[in-house]
Structure 1
Amino acid sequence: MYWNLAMMDWKNTTLDLKLRTNNWNVTTTDWNELTMFQHVRTVDVNGKTVGRGFIEMLHSLSATSVRKPLRHRIQIVLRIIQFIYYPILAIVAVPANIVTIVILSQEKCGLSRCVSHYLVAMAIADLLVTIFDLILRHILFVYLDGQHLLEGLPVCNIHAVLIYAATDCSVWFTVTFTFDRFVAICCPNLRSKYCNVQTAAVVLATVTGLSCLKNIFWYFMLRNKYHVGSRAWFCWVKRDVKSSPVWAAIEFCHYILTPGVAFILILLLNFLMVRHIVVTSRSRRRLHQQSKRKSVKDPEMKSRMNSIILLFLISGNFILLWSVSMVYSISRRIFFLGYKSLDLRIFAMELGYMLQMLSCCTNTVIYVIAHPKFREHLKNIVYYPFTPIVKCIKH
């Protein structure tokens, strides 16, 4: 039975490789890399990966590591890490974002209501990305290569729209938060008009609506059936889309906007804020020196520095964890357009996914580091279940 299933899987994979090679003009080496992991696991009668899959990959890495190319060994190592990494990340990311939403919604962390609104929106978007992308896509593909739990439901293109819309919201909420802090720090004349709760609500609602509209095209590009044999795409691509330069241009613009343009805007706004803070601090220092108040601390500059530290941590974290995924996505689309010299290996895609998913829970760590009041509220939430036990012990 195992042999028959293995032969059927091999034939289906070979046919799929031929079809994709003809349509996408992809090299055989790349498709071997894409499907290499499908053959290192033990599959039971129902087609589900059993517990021996993890052991099989360890054995494959140790027994034949000398004969395998370096890129194949890197891919196997990444897949072994994903077996442990993705579930742990999901276990941490979901409660971390929920706790962040609860704490920031109370508006007791010493942040303005406007800033709290942006940070809550970012946490909600990260939570949705964790559910739609990390749990319902990556974890299921790592553990169930032969069968997706949603495989029988014709909702793959809808799933894709939800993933990319939530991802766009997560990215552009970071951009809008950066712009809000830029106005608050560098544009005092516009601060009262722009940096308020009403404007934040309008901006967040607009970004959410545009993100949903922008990613509707995935519904028409992808079929509604799940394709579990591919790591790059989890939905079947429609046949007329594969060779269409119009759809290729739309997809290329998608990767340019998110996160390419977002990267540029965040870097530009941060640079302008740093320059403004340096110039302002110098002028204020001169005023203090002229008034002979060298020992007096400047509360306004201290408040600005706290805000800028939080902003730089969030922006730097975003840029660092999204860089690999952005470079791979753009280079892959350029490769499909005929520029073969810009091809990157598949393990770059796997690493990009892992870092991108990590960004869904790192903001909570940043808040813990940057804000003592957030740490205090987090401790209260963690200790709350144990409070009755402590009271019983005392009494």
Structure 2
Amino acid sequence: MTVLTLSQGKCGLSEGITRYMTAMATGDLMVLVFNVIVGEIIRDYFPGSLLNYTPACRLSVFLQGFSLQLSIWFTIAFTFDRFVAICCDKLKACYCTKRTANIVIIIMSALNIMVNIPLPFRYEPIHVLNNVQWGCRTVTGYLSSPAWAAHRWLTNISNMFVPIPLLLLLNSLTARHILVASRARQALKSSRGGAGKMGGDPELKSRRTSIVLLFTISGCFMVLSAPITVIHICVGVTHTVNYQGSTSLYTAIRVAFLLMCTTSCTNTCIYALTQRRFREEMTHVLTFPSTLLCKPRK
């Protein structure tokens, strides 16, 4: 519904922002499908599914890693676009465009594909029956291989260690610029005898709406992704390899993974809470089928 609503281009947003938000919604939907439905529900509750075949299992692993990274880096791309639009007046005209947004989305998708290409090769079939490969297990020497260790570090850096500090930096710089500009604008209007309140200034009201949307999206992402990042740091420092014997650590990892997947569900609620035009367009999309059915009767 979010992808369909945003793709209409009637939510009062620029074409660049619409492209980023549509990409974010698509990445979030992929996480819900491949990481939650396929990776958790079908794998655990449907033992006779296609995931028993090794090729399907490998493809599922690739799509799970790819979807998660798309969701993360599309959020960063959106935050950086808003940072440029608000803080960099000279760069704004050439960067904050539909063409740039399309290029950034394509480049990020290609880079994430390259990063996740090795994931299917991490697994090998458990057994082969009548030339059909069944099951998935980690290849021998995975933990001792320098190449796989480098790939693990690359994945952890791109998924956890870089996004949160980068979002914090961009948001703090954006907030600082907005506060300074708002104070200067209010002071200027007061000196001219105009209304210094934010409610009477459309420009300040627009900035406030932008910062609320930006901070709620990236803020929710940081809060819900922080637990899995902390756990990965602790596991890396303590060199924990097998955690299945530790009930508390296993529970913490599963809860942290649940919170990380929940980030894919929050953006639509944020759009609905902060964007009036989005609510109106989604209502129109929901009522459109019933409108078509009622027209012939009328």
Question: 2:193 aligned with 1:289, yes or no?
Answer: no
Alignment of 1:228-377 (within 5 A): 235-294=136-195, 297-336=200-239, 345-377=249-281
1:391 Cα offset (Å): 6.7
RMSD: 2.5
- The alignment-based identity, stated in percent, is 37
Q: CA deviation at 1:153?
A: 4.3
Q: How many residues align?
A: 286
Distance 2:237 2:137 in 1: 20
Residue type of the partner of 1:132?
F
Aligned match of 2:14: 112
Q: Equivalents in 2 of 1:224, 1:310: separation in Å?
A: 46
Shift in CA distance, 235/260, structure 1 to aligned 2, threshold 3 Å = farther
Q: Is the alpha carbon distance of 1:330 and 1:373 closer, same or farther for their aligned partners in structure 2, counting shifts above 3 Å?
A: same
Structure 1 stretch 364-373 or stretch 236-245: which is displaced more? 236-245
Q: Is the CA contact 1:156–1:223 (under 8 Å) kept in the aligned structure 2?
A: no
Distance, in Å, in 2 between the alignment partners of 1:254 and 1:278 is 36
Select which of 87, 90, 97 maps to 1:186: 87
List aligned pairs for 1:1-395, cutoff 5 A: 99-144=1-46, 147-223=48-124, 235-294=136-195, 297-336=200-239, 345-387=249-291
Counterpart amino acid of residue 316 in structure 1: G
Q: Structure 1 unaligned segments of length 5 or more: list them.
A: 1-98, 227-233
Please report how far the alpha carbon of residue 324 of structure 1 lies from its aligned counterpart in structure 2 after TM superposition.
1.8
> Taking structure 1 as the reference length, what is the TM-score of the superposition?
0.67
Q: Which runs of 5+ in 2 are unaligned?
A: 128-134
CA contact (8 A) 1:158 1:224 kept: no
Looking at structure 2, the residues matched to 219 and 104 of structure 1 have their Cα atoms a distance apart, in angstroms, of 33
Q: How far off its partner does 1:388 sit?
A: 5.9
Larger gyration radius, structure 1 or structure 2: 1
Letter of the structure 2 residue corresponding to residue 108 of structure 1: K
CA distance in 2, matches of 1:253, 1:285: 46
Is the 2:39–2:64 Cα contact (8 Å) retained in structure 1? no
**Matched-pair contact (CA < 8 Å) for 1:252–1:330:** no
Contact 1:161/1:218 (CA < 8 Å) preserved in 2? yes
> Is contact 1:314–1:363 with CA below 8 Å preserved after alignment?
yes
- What SS does structure 1 have at the residue aligned with 2:142? helix
Residue 195 of structure 1 deviates from its aligned partner by: 0.4
On the 8 A contact 2:86/2:174 being kept in 1, the answer is yes
Q: CA deviation at 1:129?
A: 1.5
Name the aligned partner's letter for residue 22 of structure 2. Answer: V
Question: How far apart in 1 are the matches of 2:159 and 2:87?
Answer: 26
Query: How big is the shift at 1:337?
Result: 6.3
Judged with a 3 Å threshold, the aligned counterparts in structure 2 of structure 1 residues 366 and 225 are, in CA distance, closer, same or farther, namely farther
SS at the partner of 1:154?
helix
1:158 is aligned with what amino acid? Answer: L
CA distance 1:219–1:186, shift in 2 (3 Å): same
Structure 1 residues 333 and 225, CA, compared in 2 at 3 Å: closer, same or farther?
A: farther
| Distance verdict in 2 for CA 1:182–1:117, change over 3 Å | same
| Letter aligned with residue 169 of structure 1 | L
Give the Å deviation of 1:322. 1.4
Higher RCO (CA 8 Å, separation ≥ 6 residues) = 2
Cα distance in 2 for residues equivalent to 1:354 and 1:316: 17
Give the equivalent residue in structure 2 for 1:45.
none
Give the letter aligned to residue 10 of structure 2.
K
Tell me: CA distance 1:215–1:330, structure 2 relative to 1, closer, same or farther (3 Å).
Answer: farther
TM-score (norm 2): 0.87
Measure how far apart 1:235 and its partner are. 4.2
* Aligned twin of 2:131: none
Secondary structure (helix, strand or coil) at the match of 2:269 reads helix
Give the aligned residue type for 1:133.
N
